[in-house]
Structure 1
């Protein structure tokens, strides 16, 4: 586990306390571990004292600042505007809430069978007419051509994932959203799986709404949906009569988890600090390890958005290099069946072992201190399309930026033993 000039993996791993337990954490697609800086930020918020927002006293002012910082951080991560960042407990809850405000009976929505169920079921339950985009079950691709027939003048919204959470498939979201916009439809892009695996620009994707979850990119269990503030101004939603009617607050119900929101900002700062900054001789210090990261707009080299783009691009190259080793190793094993072979993908693999139930494989690997998931992983429509949902689906292993070659080798060795 040696650092490379481009991606200092040993330094990155050292910032994650949980990785010291001897396990290979290949379960990142279900949720990542937290770096020390995130843990410290959450703890510091509680130690300093926090109150509900909008009051006259200092503890409330601290919460006001925490919320504003979290909005700015998420906006930097995905290329949005802080005033368009809706925060909530998770992506699923926020998507259910927005679905009721955006579509209803008489509307048409276009959904994909590639998506996680959180970007499917909320829309099917609105009473809108659903038109389905199908997946090629062999390649795992989501063909763009079908959208030209699915989208029409009655289409209110097109919901699509930026990456499959089990196959890793990265569909051509920009081409799909362009077709939607030509017809006057809105687009809702599920970036929960994709955000952790490379740079994100929601405008380039054509996302009117971009959903993400901090726990998939080293943060706490907080969800966010990002949109243009002007678009949000035009949308009404059910809310308490006494709660704020401003944007984005009108979409946020109940009291926020302010300490966790402090962890969201720390997670974004951590991601921005993973690699050497352009024009410097070394990596930007990571909060909680080597010192504070410069705030955006200070004398630190580059804005946080610029540092994020560089850092996440390097992390993606690191992950895909490791993934090449993992995929090649599994492909040599005759007792392993791999699902999907998309041209563009995240470092996520879905497979079965001959004669073994998926849970049996996961149990075997857990005994070897290798963490993987088994089952449908909420890819409800996709596992049905693959013909495996009713038989336990498959095993999923997913790499994130803190995984190294030893994690991959341990997985391959464990699967080989089942041959």
Structure 2
């Protein structure tokens, strides 16, 4: 971790953070379900709708402007993910829809007895699309966790990979408990067996830098509304895969990549908003560049790619500081249990994003979320679609857990306020 870093100045770029309830500023800790958007996003979407609103591939100005915006957004996402080419970026409604579309396409190339590996730790959007292939005779194997710290059991994964494995689907970070998986190691294990790798990076994308080339993943999906942008899904795929697998599309549509995977008219204003989100992160990276001038992790990157990697590294470092404050405070609350990595040693903080699932004895998670919301503190309860994990932890039948999810626009003062309220709520039930 770098020296102490303060990103509170960037709160001014988020208009929603000015909202108050009962005279108190709202605290947005519902970030794992979707972050607030930067001002640059609002301006980009408004500008598109005012100046360029049209369908693509026409001969007139607004249509041509739409084509330019789509191309600009592809390059922006290629820079964000360090993809080799913007042609490896596919847009869609959301990660779930994109995963279902590709699972169907990949399934067309599989035979009965072929195997796909999923995990207990994942959001169901990276499980259900692969389970659907069981109707073709595909065998689904599920990797377990270490329940004591809710980390993926890599030994179990290694034992399940074999010569029949065709694809390994795993999350970059858990949307429920924050665990970061060793994606590079998992990819190496899968590729050694000749299997493809599908990475759900929805939960990780707002919290740290991603380099798809260094990871060597075959596919990676994320959602712009989780990293300060609009509701839009993004898929990275190695070009040879985007060209190889059969795309389900209407007959007149282009067969070129990546357009062959983008069925129907896209959310053009959302695509414009994505550019705004990347512009915001680029700005953050440029302003933090001096803090990371000698950081060897950033040596491979130049230009906007370097600025984006600086931004995401700064965000990661700042959020680890927040986690180092939050986790001990939660542990002091009587009857509160944290599910997942709860230590604050540097190696432990490096294995999680600031997403925390917890329960308090005598309090239903929905009641806790409701009480927090009444005090202007927004947080989720339930299973957050991490169904397999909640079942494995024995929480599904008990209302799941309360989820507290921070991002870089949250502050130490907010942590103290939330801890105080949780302490009050815990005491009221005992």
What TM-score do you get using the length of structure 1 for normalisation? Answer: 0.92
3-state DSSP of counterpart to 2:370: helix
Counterpart of 2:326 in structure 1 is 326
Q: CA deviation at 1:269?
A: 1.5
Q: CA deviation at 1:137?
A: 1.4
**2:298 matched to 1:337?**
no
Change (3 A) 1:181 1:281: closer
Contact 1:26/1:407, CA 8 A, preserved across alignment: no
Q: How does 1:11-410 map to 2 (within 5 A)?
A: 11-21=9-19, 22-80=25-83, 81-103=85-107, 104-106=110-112, 107-127=114-134, 128-277=138-287, 302-341=302-341, 343=348, 344-410=351-417
Number of corresponding residues:
398
Q: CA deviation at 1:185?
A: 0.6
3-state DSSP of counterpart to 1:54: coil
Question: 2:187 and 2:80 mapped to 1: Cα distance?
Answer: 20
Question: 1:354 and 1:307 mapped to 2: Cα distance?
Answer: 45
Question: 1:279 and 1:60 mapped to 2: Cα distance?
Answer: 37
3-state DSSP of counterpart to 2:97: helix
Question: 1:281 and 1:318 mapped to 2: Cα distance?
Answer: 12
3-state DSSP of counterpart to 1:197: coil
Q: CA deviation at 1:277?
A: 4.3
Change (3 A) 1:225 1:373: same
Counterpart of 1:297 in structure 2 is none
Q: Could you list the runs of 4 or more consecutive aligned residues of structure 1 that deviate by over 2 angstroms after TM superposition?
A: 4-11, 203-206, 275-282
Question: 2:329 and 2:4 mapped to 1: Cα distance?
Answer: 25
**2:8 matched to 1:10?**
yes
Contact 2:31/2:406, CA 8 A, preserved across alignment: yes
Change (3 A) 1:223 1:196: same
* Cα displacement string for residues 266-300 of structure 1 (whole angstroms, at most 9, x for unaligned residues): 10121121145477699xxxxxxxxxxxxxxxxxx
Contact 1:161/1:191, CA 8 A, preserved across alignment: yes
Counterpart of 1:294 in structure 2 is none
Q: CA RMSD in A?
A: 1.9
Name whichever structure is richer in helix by fraction.
2
Question: 2:287 and 2:18 mapped to 1: Cα distance?
Answer: 27
Question: 1:27 and 1:332 mapped to 2: Cα distance?
Answer: 22
Change (3 A) 1:197 1:59: same
Structure 1 stretches lacking a partner, 5+ long: 283-300
3-state DSSP of counterpart to 1:43: helix
Question: 2:237 and 2:175 mapped to 1: Cα distance?
Answer: 22
Question: 1:249 and 1:76 mapped to 2: Cα distance?
Answer: 19
Contact 1:338/1:350, CA 8 A, preserved across alignment: yes
Q: CA deviation at 1:189?
A: 0.4
Question: 1:275 and 1:303 mapped to 2: Cα distance?
Answer: 11
Q: CA deviation at 1:153?
A: 1.2
Contact 2:166/2:195, CA 8 A, preserved across alignment: yes
Question: 2:394 and 2:102 mapped to 1: Cα distance?
Answer: 31
Q: CA deviation at 1:364?
A: 0.8
Q: CA deviation at 1:9?
A: 2.6
Question: 1:280 and 1:7 mapped to 2: Cα distance?
Answer: 12
Counterpart of 2:298 in structure 1 is none
Question: 2:388 and 2:291 mapped to 1: Cα distance?
Answer: 48
